[in-house]
Structure 1
Amino acid sequence: MAFKSRIMLHAASIAKYNTITLTSGGVQLCGIPVAKANDYYKASYDAAAMVIGKYSLYKQSWSPTDKVAQAANYSAIFIDPASPENIFVRQYHYPEASHWFDVENIPRQLWNGVESAETNPTLDFVEMFEGLPRNGAGTFQTVDAGGKYITYNNAGDPFANAEPRLKGIVLFPGDLFKNRN
């Protein structure tokens, strides 16, 4: 029902907000007719109502005043098999079902001899989060008002005030991971 709700919401949004309506011979080839939006929103609402109360936000280590705890809580959402947020979860167990996600994302310092650091967060991704030094255009600030490069004593300093969700999913210079910097 959670998946159905998500799909119906997506379809309803396309129907309501999509402006591309390619037609051929009076037949719509792209998009969803606007008239179907309310039906899809209703189907989304009804499906969501069936799962309300069965899932909740993960708050094992949440603290409204502790950003370190908030970051740890956000990380744990994806690791704790008992998380009440788990809806679309697939369990992996080698050799029956496996993936390369951990292998390709582990930091180079923890290299396992096969692969590592194959996929890294891009600056565009990091810039979507609050708490970073920004220039007038809203992008990551690398130069001061005089045009000189900003330098830091610690490579992790520019990320010191990063939003907890970002610190919960991205390793920054100097961060401790599996007891290693």
Structure 2
Amino acid sequence: MGYKIAQLTSDVVYTFMWCVLMAETEESAGPPATLIDPIEMSKLDAKFREEIHSMPNGKELSACFACSTCTAACPIANIWKYKPHQLIRMILLGMRDEVLSSDEIWLCLTCFQCQERCPQKVRVTDIFFECKNLAAEEGKVPPSIVSLGKELLEKGQLYTVTADWEREDMGLEPDVPGLSVDEVKDILKETRTGKLVDGGE
């Protein structure tokens, strides 16, 4: 009984802190969140937190106390609807759909600034990687990412030099010697890239 009460208290604290964090967000795609905006507890997925926590990179997840150091370190946090520390809090709350459907996990530059500076050693960037994998498995992939995946699968590369003069200007041979993308395409088809593209359609 004591454990259940402690767990319930923890969830209430997380919910309140989430409301406070969302009140800090000045711009959002929808109506601004305030301290009085309710969170429907019935829509929270308690297993989501445990799912991330059980992953190799999620063991320190619950150590986060929302100090916002990760957000302060993020070079593109100003364009995110949900800041890095808010996304971590959303995971702790069990807001599975909101996290896996968010653009932010895909906007991450993977510069690891947040992870390097976290005083609690929370592996923020790696956790976002885990979230992207889960989102891909559930088909929640932004169209732009799907397009990149298709480009990789079809061509084996994202950028092709189409004009010989460009290579000549760089002092290179007109044709790329020995370039074969078939092996690259075969590898990609056997990895999650193929599943990501299929799931994103």
Place the TM-score, normalised by the shorter chain, in its bin. Answer: under 0.3
**Between structures 1 and 2, the one with greater helix share:** 2
* Bigger Rg, which one: 1
Superposition TM-score, scaled by structure 1 size: 0.20
Superposition TM-score, scaled by structure 2 size: 0.18
